[in-house]
Amino acid sequence: MATTNLRGKTELPMNKRYQETSPDRTLVWFERKKPNNDQKVPVVYYLSRNGHLEHPHFLEVPLSSPQGLFLKDVINKLNTLRGDGMANKFSWSSK
């Protein structure tokens, strides 16, 4: 059964349980996507002794910033894998 209000609009009767719901229940909540910090970059490095290169070493290093890979990222990863101070035993350069 439809009713007509003063403005001439027709309204359909609603079930009582739907009329009593809080307006907050109609809000849609969403979470923003977190930046993808799980990006890893493959890195190959060589150790040098007495001017001779040793065999290549491979690492996957997580990026610490969206601007790319930094040498400090590689040094930090080496310290976590091989123990603190391992990276300090060598001099470093990057290409």
Could you give the dihedral angle defined by the CA atoms of residues 45, 51, 55 and 59, in that order, rounded to the nearest 10 degrees?
A: -10
Q: Are 60 and 42 in contact (CB under 8 A)?
A: yes
pTM here is 0.53
Q: Is the pLDDT of residue 44 over 70?
A: yes
Please tell me the predicted confidence (pLDDT) of residue 22: 62
| Domain locations along the chain | 40-89
Q: What is the pLDDT of residues 45-76, one digit of tens each?
A: 888 888 888 889 899 998 888 888 888 888 88
Q: Are 41 and 66 in contact (CB under 8 A)?
A: no
Where are the strands (E) in the chain, listed by range?
Answer: 3-4, 10-11, 40-49, 52-62
Q: What is the pLDDT of residues 72-88, one digit of tens each?
A: 888 888 888 888 887 78
Mean pLDDT of 32-52: 79
Distance CA 47, CA 53 (A): 6
